Amino acid sequence: MPDNPIYQGLGQLGQQTSAPKTPEEAQLERVPNPHVGTLYLTRFVAPEFTSLCPVTGQPDFAHIVIDYAPGDWLVESKSLKLYLTSFRNHGAFHEDCSVAIGKRVHAFTEAKWLRISAYWYPRGGIPIDVFWQSGEVPAGLHVPDTGVASYRGRG
């Protein structure tokens, strides 16, 4: 890892890191935003998100899109990937997983605005899509469509 002070305190970037066993155990990391004061959008897409049904223990799959307008901090992408991976052994309903992810990333990054769009693949014949955002879209922020179509055999 470079001797740049922005990398100080990052314990996962550039290191071999095991996937956390639970979302509570997962450690998000952040770095300073090099464009503080500039309104822009960052998008993360996790098309193969997995969690467990809390009742049956069967896997649930989702295509997740996280859009956020950074403030002073950026979420470090490897730590976000490991956080999302930690849900693979986590039993929770779709709504709980989706909203918990959005709220945690928003609070941790102190983002100006964040939206999570979680498109869950059907089990039992019903797809469930969950959307949460931290508030009104800031004036002047370009927020493109998520690019995920309504369910028609997603893929």
Residue 5 clears pLDDT 80, i.e. is over it: no
- Residue 77 in any domain: the answer is yes
Residue ranges with strand state E in 17-150: 30-32, 42-52, 59-69, 73-75, 113-123, 126-133
- Residue 19 in any domain: the answer is no
Residue 103 clears pLDDT 70, i.e. is over it: yes
Q: Is the pTM of this model over 0.85?
A: yes
- Residue 67 in any domain: the answer is yes
Considering its fold, how many domains does the chain have in total? Answer: 1
Residue 131 clears pLDDT 90, i.e. is over it: yes
- Residue 141 in any domain: the answer is no
Residues marked as catalytic: 53, 60
Instruction: Give the domain range for residue 71.
Output: 37-133
Give the contacts of 93 (CB within 8 A, at least 6 positions apart): 53, 54
Provide the pLDDT for residue 4.
Answer: 57
Residue 31 clears pLDDT 80, i.e. is over it: yes
- Residue 5 in any domain: the answer is no
Residue 9 clears pLDDT 70, i.e. is over it: no
Higher pLDDT, 13 or 43: 43
b/e code 17-55 from CB counts within 10 Å (16+ = b): eeebeebeebebbbbebeeeeeeebbebebeebbbbeee
Nearest Cα to Cα of residue 120 among 89, 79, 148: 148
Any idea what the CATH number is for the domain that residue 99 is in? 3.30.1130.10
- Residue 84 in any domain: the answer is yes
Q: Give the C-alpha separation, 103 to 93, whole Å.
A: 16
pLDDT tens-place string over residues 42-62: 999 999 999 999 999 999 999
Q: Give the C-alpha separation, 26 to 15, whole Å.
A: 15
Residue 10 clears pLDDT 80, i.e. is over it: no
